[in-house]
Amino acid sequence: MTVAKTTAFTAEQQQLARVAKALAHPARVAIVQLLASKTTCISGDIAAELPLARTTVFQHLQELKALDLIRGEIDGLTVCYCLNTELLRQVQQQFMSFFETAVACPAGGAGESCGC
């Protein structure tokens, strides 16, 4: 039996990996984009906007909600979802820092590539 050694990684690395995994499905990306284009959205409206069954959309909503990327409020028989913009801004900064570091020029100077 293998054991995940997530404790060997920083909290930021773990969070970036969780968010990247959650956004690795195009339906979840579409849901986030849809919610970003509106102030709130009812679950049924989301399903009407995507080429997926309502139950499939609900499963994707649950995945995003589990990471707190979106929030849902029960309003009678419906659930209104919205983005957790505070967390998204934090993750945005973490990803920007990650990519800035990843694409920084090597010590050899600008324009040089690795020796592969």
**55, part of any domain:** yes
Structural domain count of the chain = 1
- 3-state SS track over the chain: CCCCCHHHCCHHHHHHHHHHHHCCCHHHHHHHHHHHCCCCEEHHHHHHHCCCCHHHHHHHHHHHHHCCCEEEEEECCEEEEEECHHHHHHHHHHHHHHHHHHCCCCCCCCCCCCCC
CATH assignment at residue 21? 1.10.10.10
Residue 7 has pLDDT above 60, yes or no: yes
**103, part of any domain:** no
pLDDT at 1: 53
**87, part of any domain:** yes
pLDDT tens profile 44-99: 788 899 999 999 999 999 999 999 999 988 878 888 899 999 999 999 999 999 99
**6, part of any domain:** no
- The pTM assigned to this predicted structure is 0.81
In which domain, by residue range, is 87 found? Answer: 11-96
